[in-house]
Structure 1
């Protein structure tokens, strides 16, 4: 009898170990779903950079296993000759809209050329000591996020000197299937919107680079020499939580994916006299103004129309936060508004939500004002009437036009 019990315990123990091992394997597999293009470069293409002077167009998100690509490439004896800094800086030391100055990287002594100051496109002089440019930045999937415009200007400049541009591709955090918002009207073309794409475009920067060239959106005489190093394991249906990748804030006010996803719609408040939450712990998730007084029934009706999000009435007081939000709207003043919490990223449409929230606030107060910047963000004058009816045909046409440039299924 004792032997039978011992045998039974042994069998159960083996089964438990097998289940634990299987569960551990699944966890490890889930945590390593996607390899970004930078990682693929290091594993498969690094030898192709031998003997080349390499320029890096990067920001703090250019990381593999927590280490910045600049440091990794130098350790691998790659001849890095110049650094180029987009909005927020090469190491991410600048807040939104802060001018980036030319300078020297403190950790390596390499020259840093600003692409977010008086010069937004590399000059021929900047590219004299460069044989190839590596572009590696984590985008958020919004037309108004300046990194895609920086990439377009880089391609234009590089085409003149026939300098190859390698885009080390990264996933679109919002997914490759989510497209929403107005297509950019050419009259509102700016540095926060330069190409005929919707507010949420559902493409990676590598795919967008191919489309910029293929659709002749760039001002070039010579064809840019583009090479995309694709991410591996990413599928269009994946949003950021599905990738298994660690989130590195692509800008100081987008500390988590939830902030970045909601930002695709609540960015519109940057073009109003309503606070978009800068100067708080949750920019783009806290929206309000001193003159607002929303009613619970109004918010309840809004929430009914948007499954996947929770909306709470709150008050908040913006403060100046160095490196994140200097002199935010209504600094030191009590604002009344809402706090947004996303409960389901697959059912929530942040762009449409941003439009409807702004519409609700305008109905609730005659003090709401739109400024010229909102037309650049929305890309259309339809924002003044909150007319989203035109989206469907525009987006269907865009999704058809982008097909030849897609890299991922």
Structure 2
């Protein structure tokens, strides 16, 4: 068995390549852009498989179209959760098929299998992974990435990760997952929010041997240029392309890091509205003025108002939302300064407050997969406000563990 190989492209000055780029260049050049500028020749005479979704864009063009236009021999497409074109709702099964625009085969990684089979990889010499993440353990793209690396290593196929920003920057927050609660929405021993890019996380998966065949894996990260850990999405200058249907803006994705916890309750997390994860409540919720006043005292950089809403089925976004057609009472959230608050702490405090205002509400079996801990422990930590100390200790330990895998200052 040969030793694991981690390759990192050397950053340097770029010569802009005319691939439908806008005149005003963003502050950050994503890994896909760097690939087009510097490494495209290395793909000549290779059969290339793509693990991508609609976020795999440079200068307004999807990487699939750009690579084909540059005569790269793309032979297979692989679809994560939400699909290669991003038109499938959360948790909905994806079937194998044909990409209508190109006629290329599309293999599902969110259906009967979540790992590429040897047959799927039969006509592939190299895999390019290019997906925008949100920086959360429970966001399934990191699990898909690990599965890709495992399967490719078994077939001696290198994986190139075209790195993209962590939209939330360097926030590390939330509980570390307990082994008994591991699942596809919590596959690796990392906090709820990990503060890493997928390229960095891939290096850690291999280095810590969290994945099978780690010793055989060849992983190459094509890093970004111009990105640093302190940046949140608005500072990158990049256009936001929803990484999944219910995260239409950066602000939805940022608050989602905490309000995702409401998916583990009988309350609505806002699916079926125009502002999922920014609308929280239920028909039974009875918020008082004091509830809202307390939240406003606790958090700056975010406006929290009492608001009613009625979830409706939205094709491709929410086929069967909680309380469909029922009037829900709760809150509306609006971000004014993402640097001023921790979205995971916000989610925990909102959970505590809205449960107090909704005695009928309860936690469900999905909560341990999201939080990573038992429901009884979660309730105890929220009630006694012990979670902040727990999260701080977890963050410090993880920060040290991940140090050797970081690519950016």
1:355 aligns with 2:344: no
1:32 aligns with 2:31: no
Deviations along 1:53-85, one digit per CA (max 9) or x if unpaired, are: 000000000000111100000000000000000
Structure 2's unaligned 5+ residue stretches are: 1-21
* 1:30–1:401 Cα change, 3 Å: farther
1:233 aligns with 2:261: no
> What does residue 113 of structure 1 align with?
107
Distance 2:281 2:288 in 1: 13
Q: Which among 151, 156, 174 is matched to residue 157 of structure 1?
A: 151
Instruction: Indicate the structure with greater helix content.
Output: 1
For the aligned residue pairs, the C-alpha RMSD in angstroms reads: 1.2
Q: Which among 68, 80, 87 is matched to residue 86 of structure 1?
A: 80
Q: Which among 384, 391, 394 is matched to residue 379 of structure 2?
A: 384
TM-score, normalized by length of structure 2?
Answer: 0.92
Contact 1:342–1:348, Cα closer than 8 Å, also in 2:
no
> What does residue 42 of structure 1 align with?
36
Contact 1:135–1:168, Cα closer than 8 Å, also in 2:
yes
Deviations along 1:223-280, one digit per CA (max 9) or x if unpaired, are: 2110000011000000000000000000000000000000000001011110000000
Q: Which among 176, 201, 210 is matched to residue 183 of structure 1?
A: 176
Distance 1:281 1:296 in 2: 25
- Structure 1 stretches of at least 4 aligned residues deviating more than 4 Å after TM superposition: 28-31
User: Offset at 1:366?
Assistant: 1.7
Contact 2:207–2:214, Cα closer than 8 Å, also in 1:
no
Structure 1's unaligned 5+ residue stretches are: 1-27
1:139 aligns with 2:171: no
User: Offset at 1:166?
Assistant: 0.1
Q: Which among 241, 245, 249 is matched to residue 248 of structure 1?
A: 241
* 1:142–1:30 Cα change, 3 Å: farther
User: Offset at 1:185?
Assistant: 1.1
Contact 1:320–1:327, Cα closer than 8 Å, also in 2:
yes
Other structure's SS at 1:314 match: strand
Contact 2:206–2:214, Cα closer than 8 Å, also in 1:
no
Deviations along 1:307-365, one digit per CA (max 9) or x if unpaired, are: 11110000000000001110100000000000001111111111011111111112222
TM-score, normalized by length of structure 1?
Answer: 0.92
> What does residue 61 of structure 2 align with?
67
After superposition, residues 214-363 of structure 1 pair within 5 angstroms as 214-220=207-213, 222-363=215-356
User: Offset at 1:372?
Assistant: 1.2
> What does residue 24 of structure 1 align with?
none
Distance 1:45 1:67 in 2: 18
Other structure's SS at 2:42 match: helix
> What does residue 170 of structure 1 align with?
164
> What does residue 405 of structure 1 align with?
405
Larger radius of gyration: 1
> What does residue 15 of structure 2 align with?
none
Q: How many residues align?
A: 381
